[in-house]
Structure 1
Amino acid sequence: MTTEAITTRASAAGAGSSWLLCGGCGAMLYERRFARAGRVCPDCSWHAPMTAHQRLDLLLDSGSARGVDVPAMDSDPLEFTDTRPYRDRLRDARASTGLDEAAVCARGTIEGNPVVVVVMDFRFLGGSLGSTVGEVFTRGAELALRERTPLLTVTASGGARMQEGAIALMQMAKTSQALGQLDEAGILTVSLITDPTFGGVAASFATLADVIIAEPGARLGFAGRRVIEQTIRQTLPADFQTAEFLLTHGVVDLISPRHELRANLARLLSVSSRRPDGIPRQTGRPQHAVVTDPELLPRRDAWECVRAARRLGRPSTLDYIGMLLEDFTELRGDRMSSDCPALVAGLGRLDGVPVAVIGTQKGHTADELRYRNFGMPTPAGYRKSARVMRLAAKLGLPVITLIDTAGAYPGVEAEEQAQAVAIAENLRLMAGLAVPVVAVVTGEGGSGGALALAFADRVLMCANAVYSVISAEGCAAILWKNPAAAPTAAAALRIDSRELLRLGVVDGVIGEPDGGADADPAGTADRLREALRGALAELLPLDQMNLVTRRRTRFRQFGVAAPVSTPVSSGDAHESQPDRNVEATR
């Protein structure tokens, strides 16, 4: 659908006729019913353009919107004239839309959560980014900064305003800088992409937000389809630059139909907002869920542990998220090239505590296993996890990782996309992450692909889980020259929970119900909840410097003859266990 067609249909929709033609399927639509449905076609789900004020009515709680005045500038720095003087175009746009410019700013709430909203209106000179639009956005960002309130931007634009020349170009830098200040202040930013969003807006504030949501079918890109086809002389895919295309290619987090927008935004805002009533934090240590003394665990056959860890019925990351978290929003994509379905990440609440959760996802059926790449993340998966961890650090949210993977994906594409670099970057990032990190090996913990999510303040594992430098089969093939020697290799590698606790690689073991986690997923989830609550109760009171120092010290001491001393603050609630780590070197 072309930009010109959208403009025409938007104008027709506002003409007041009783019947309209759908811009997607051509069906006849009764105007009042169409408006009540949020301007979405009931037959093809085409999302029609909306005015800025329609957007505010759709998104904000009734009666909560308060406009933020930004004086419109009549400057014409180039004294520009094409077929008409620029000043005349501005005057006509104001008369036809009732707006001062192509963007408006307002305060308001979404299901009680405060937010500053900047909304663009494509009717006004194609939503082009000129000096006043840049000023409206920047003032909105500065208001969000002063009030420490999340910023929501709703974009609809053809790009930078040519009639203002390089001054319009400078708005890309100006608005990007404003978002950078919100990053530094730890304030959530959300971008809602509507159709179309191109050029300078797409290459600045539309894609710099922490979370990018798109309406179905919305197009986003730097250059438009026609320009690209004329330049490179290639036929582009039918869905090129659409929300669905961008979700697959890792650019947007979520495609949200219009009727779900408020609920999706409210979940995000509730997790990140610093609300006056505060967030409840659970207290107390785990009573029975975590075993920290290896002598209290039974000796197990290592190969039997491997087989138990791989059972398809064991709860997955998504299973645990469904049983443990409230208000969960999954975030997708590495913002570079793709989304990895083998790794799930997002924001939610654990018993009221806002958290970021990242985990590998295998699945339970043959189809899901194939779709999830058998739980083996690609570089895009590790880059997605890094993006969510940085967001957690920005918002001050603890990070929980759930690990069940045979290892990082070893394919050609993974090497082309620098799998080793992606894993290394995660390790470095986690070493200095200034929020609590709790890692749990729930099934298989395979090699560096698992460690890339397990550089944590507390490393726990389920009783039937395994954690190793290499799979037992791989070790047997390399050292025994016989894959059938896998049971022998598993025993030699000491990959079961009892041995790993003794070696100090893990800090505690979460018991499983009789028959294993797959026999009672809900019971296992209850034990995991108790273990996570206890770990967070110990870690949340620690200041950032002490937290990072202790985490680095924990991993620094592996492979040394004596434990490395750790500075202890008065608020430190967790005693180190140096003897266990000394034992690991003997």
Structure 2
Amino acid sequence: MTATMDAADSVRREPEPDWVSCGRCRMLLYGKRFTRSAKVCPGCGWHSRLTVRERLDALLDPGSAEPVEPAGSVRDPLGFADLVPYTERLDRARRETGLEDAVQVVSATLGGRPVVVAAMDFRFLGGSLGSAAGEAIVTAAEAALAWRTPLLVITASGGARMQEGALSLMQMARTSNAMAALDEAGLLTITLVTDPTFGGVAASFATLSDVIVAEPGARMGFAGRRVIEQTIGETLPESFQTAEFLFEHGLIDGISPRSELPQLLSILVGAAATPSEGWADGVADPVLRDPESLSPPGIEEVVRRARVPGRPTALDHVANWTDGFVELHGDRAGSDSPAIVGGLAELNGLPVMVIGHQKGRTTEELVRHDFGMPSPAGYRKAVRLMRLAAKLGIPVVTLVDTPGAHPGPEAERTGQANAIAECLRVLGGLPVPVVTVITGEGGSGGALALAVADRVLLCENATYSVISPEGCAAILWRSSAAPAVSAAAQALRVGAKSLLSLGVADGVVPEPPGGAHRDPAAASTLVRDAVISALRELHGRDGEDLVAARRARFRRFGSAEISPTTRETVK
């Protein structure tokens, strides 16, 4: 660790107490053991606050941290004094912490990869955001920009520093502009929320990161709990503004215990790294492109196989394909949808963004994931992840398996049609490779929202249609009887051979005999190899060329020159 950090750690360093009391459950804890466990209570999981030194030692590769010194800032711009002059408060905070201000900036490595870190220390005037703290955040962002590395911000703050008046308020815009510059440069930003994170920090750089992770129980919000209760005259629930509350409402990507943070952050930083050489070597392309090579079973059997719960789900595929996957959650607007999952992963050494519909194998799982029928929040989450992939310059892989978008009244009230339309528009214009595999049911616009791709592949027993056979039979045949449903499925041409002939699918991924549910692992490996082969073909293509070709592909559907026998024109 650096000399600066050593000095901070040595200031007022008192002997470690033999026993400490948990701040939540009041369990008596042996001091040295509590410290060794990163100050997490073994009984209730309460996470005690850490100093900057403790925080960086716990997260970063040993010995890798080097200080990044911010420029000087105004000391007491208002000549402020309350019960104690501001200058005296500053001097006391510096003596007690050994820090110049509330934010420490270092360059370091995390999992062997470079990163710039701006870490807040709540001991310094409650981690408040003043001119010096704002300068430190901006310095960290500028260092990340200069060195082309990810930025990790670790927050702990009560809000803006009142003693600096309007200049403190200006730090919100100052730091937000610095984060915007990293967005424009395509650099990954991560926020680790620790307890507490409030006010101007929460309403600026803390919530502008690409990925927001919180420690269990960490609180974050704009207004504090007491202020809100006094304003509305109501008592808020105990969980209000906690990490768990934020996660439930789609405002953060995840919650991670302190012991798991180094690995999680390492995977995230790695997802923005340069692809490993030879990431596609040795992978044979299994995709079938000649309709005549397919001998499907009857259409009723195809539809049945497409819906069998034992088929690999999106999360099954990700688990089979990758060693590291960080699922990202939330639409950042107050909700999440478990029917769409997505996140950053490395596929054979190639960083990718994987987004897919998620059903489940058991009834419990199906219910928990809304039977794979996304609400608007799911599609808005997907759009957020698509845009992140475009920012980082990494491919998007989408896995489609849904009966359709959620048809409920709440979905309509919250903008289902608009959410799907935005998916179509954003996905169609992404300047990165996009590969879609329809792995089960491809139901209507709810499926197409994730399928505006450069390469659209279909599993051998998957289906893709404007409406379900049952829905079509009920409307046009005015019957729900099996013969009508079968006739509708046949007429809609929902199977792989027909879709390949029509050019809607670019290729078909074979399945194990009898269907993917008979051997899910083998089925998943075939899909993986198909995806890698498609990405190998698209890798290195110019972003503008990709968008132009993708739009041209979909422009031709339904044009007069296309017929089932001239599918080459579609490709």
TM tier relative to shorter chain:
over 0.9
Opposite residue 220 of structure 2, the aligned amino acid is L
CA contact (8 A) 1:153 1:190 kept: yes
CA contact (8 A) 1:406 1:444 kept: yes
Partner of 1:353: 350
- Are 1:524 and 2:523 matched, yes or no? yes
Partner of 2:303: 306
Partner of 2:400: 403
User: 1:340: Cα distance to partner?
Assistant: 1.0
CA deviations over 1:452-477 (Å, ceiling 9, x no partner) = 00000000010100000011111111
- State the alpha-carbon separation in 2 of the partners of residues 50 and 129 from structure 1: 18
Partner of 2:98: 98
Partner of 1:497: 496
Report the more deviating stretch, 82-91 or 442-451: 82-91
Opposite residue 250 of structure 1, the aligned amino acid is G
- State the alpha-carbon separation in 2 of the partners of residues 59 and 517 from structure 1: 41
Partner of 2:159: 159
CA deviations over 1:113-157 (Å, ceiling 9, x no partner) = 111000001111110000000000000100000000110000000
User: 1:301: Cα distance to partner?
Assistant: 2.3
**Which aligned pairs between 1:378-393 and structure 2 lie closer than 5 A?**
378-393=375-390
User: 1:541: Cα distance to partner?
Assistant: 2.5
CA contact (8 A) 2:400 2:442 kept: yes
CA contact (8 A) 1:342 1:372 kept: yes
**Which aligned pairs between 1:166-565 and structure 2 lie closer than 5 A?**
166-274=166-274, 278-283=276-281, 286-287=284-285, 289-484=286-481, 485-562=484-561
CA deviations over 1:301-353 (Å, ceiling 9, x no partner) = 22221111000111111111111122111111111111211111011111111
CA deviations over 1:205-255 (Å, ceiling 9, x no partner) = 111001001000000100011111111122222201100111111011111
CA deviations over 1:500-527 (Å, ceiling 9, x no partner) = 1111111001111111101011111121
Structure 1 unmatched ranges of 5 or more: 1-10, 565-576
Query: Structure 1 residues 137, 279: closer, same or farther in 2, change over 3 A?
Result: farther
Query: Structure 1 residues 81, 39: closer, same or farther in 2, change over 3 A?
Result: same
Opposite residue 268 of structure 1, the aligned amino acid is L
- State the alpha-carbon separation in 2 of the partners of residues 422 and 283 from structure 1: 38
Partner of 2:4: none
CA contact (8 A) 1:182 1:188 kept: yes
Opposite residue 42 of structure 1, the aligned amino acid is P
User: 1:28: Cα distance to partner?
Assistant: 1.0
Which SS does the other structure have where 1:546 is aligned? helix
User: 1:298: Cα distance to partner?
Assistant: 1.5
Query: Structure 1 residues 14, 451: closer, same or farther in 2, change over 3 A?
Result: farther
Report the more deviating stretch, 294-303 or 518-527: 294-303
- State the alpha-carbon separation in 2 of the partners of residues 212 and 583 from structure 1: 41
Query: Structure 1 residues 440, 49: closer, same or farther in 2, change over 3 A?
Result: same
Opposite residue 290 of structure 1, the aligned amino acid is V
Query: Structure 1 residues 229, 13: closer, same or farther in 2, change over 3 A?
Result: farther
Query: Structure 1 residues 14, 204: closer, same or farther in 2, change over 3 A?
Result: farther
Report the more deviating stretch, 211-220 or 73-82: 73-82
Computed over aligned residues only, the root mean square deviation of the Cα atoms, in angstroms, reads 1.9
Opposite residue 377 of structure 1, the aligned amino acid is P
User: 1:27: Cα distance to partner?
Assistant: 1.0
CA contact (8 A) 2:335 2:377 kept: yes
Opposite residue 237 of structure 2, the aligned amino acid is P
CA contact (8 A) 2:73 2:135 kept: no
- State the alpha-carbon separation in 2 of the partners of residues 500 and 367 from structure 1: 33
- State the alpha-carbon separation in 2 of the partners of residues 294 and 73 from structure 1: 69
Partner of 2:567: 580
Opposite residue 338 of structure 2, the aligned amino acid is P
User: 1:563: Cα distance to partner?
Assistant: 6.2
User: 1:14: Cα distance to partner?
Assistant: 6.4
- State the alpha-carbon separation in 1 of the partners of residues 66 and 562 from structure 2: 59
Please give the TM-score of this superposition, normalised by the length of structure 1.
0.93
Which SS does the other structure have where 1:206 is aligned? helix
CA deviations over 1:83-124 (Å, ceiling 9, x no partner) = 111111111111111111011100111121111000001111
Partner of 1:573: none
Query: Structure 1 residues 366, 490: closer, same or farther in 2, change over 3 A?
Result: same
Report the more deviating stretch, 290-299 or 41-50: 290-299
- State the alpha-carbon separation in 1 of the partners of residues 59 and 464 from structure 2: 46
**Which aligned pairs between 1:13-162 and structure 2 lie closer than 5 A?**
16-162=16-162
- State the alpha-carbon separation in 1 of the partners of residues 506 and 440 from structure 2: 16
Opposite residue 128 of structure 2, the aligned amino acid is S
User: 1:578: Cα distance to partner?
Assistant: 9.4
Opposite residue 104 of structure 1, the aligned amino acid is Q
How many residue pairs match? The answer is 559
- State the alpha-carbon separation in 2 of the partners of residues 438 and 583 from structure 1: 16
Which SS does the other structure have where 2:205 is aligned? coil
- State the alpha-carbon separation in 2 of the partners of residues 301 and 331 from structure 1: 39
- State the alpha-carbon separation in 2 of the partners of residues 505 and 42 from structure 1: 55
Please give the TM-score of this superposition, normalised by the length of structure 2.
0.95
User: 1:555: Cα distance to partner?
Assistant: 0.1
CA deviations over 1:469-493 (Å, ceiling 9, x no partner) = 0111111111111122211111111
Query: Structure 1 residues 23, 72: closer, same or farther in 2, change over 3 A?
Result: farther
Which SS does the other structure have where 1:377 is aligned? coil
- State the alpha-carbon separation in 2 of the partners of residues 207 and 274 from structure 1: 26
- State the alpha-carbon separation in 1 of the partners of residues 270 and 429 from structure 2: 26
CA deviations over 1:436-463 (Å, ceiling 9, x no partner) = 0000000000000000000000000101
Which SS does the other structure have where 2:301 is aligned? helix
User: 1:281: Cα distance to partner?
Assistant: 3.1
- State the alpha-carbon separation in 2 of the partners of residues 285 and 257 from structure 1: 37
Structure 2 unmatched ranges of 5 or more: 1-10
- State the alpha-carbon separation in 2 of the partners of residues 280 and 149 from structure 1: 23
CA contact (8 A) 1:72 1:101 kept: no
Which SS does the other structure have where 1:235 is aligned? coil
- State the alpha-carbon separation in 1 of the partners of residues 72 and 56 from structure 2: 20
CA contact (8 A) 1:13 1:20 kept: no
- State the alpha-carbon separation in 2 of the partners of residues 59 and 249 from structure 1: 27
Which SS does the other structure have where 1:109 is aligned? strand
Which SS does the other structure have where 1:291 is aligned? coil
Query: Structure 1 residues 341, 58: closer, same or farther in 2, change over 3 A?
Result: same
- State the alpha-carbon separation in 1 of the partners of residues 344 and 565 from structure 2: 34
Which SS does the other structure have where 1:115 is aligned? strand
- State the alpha-carbon separation in 2 of the partners of residues 581 and 361 from structure 1: 33
Opposite residue 157 of structure 2, the aligned amino acid is S
- State the alpha-carbon separation in 2 of the partners of residues 385 and 259 from structure 1: 29
Which SS does the other structure have where 1:53 is aligned? helix
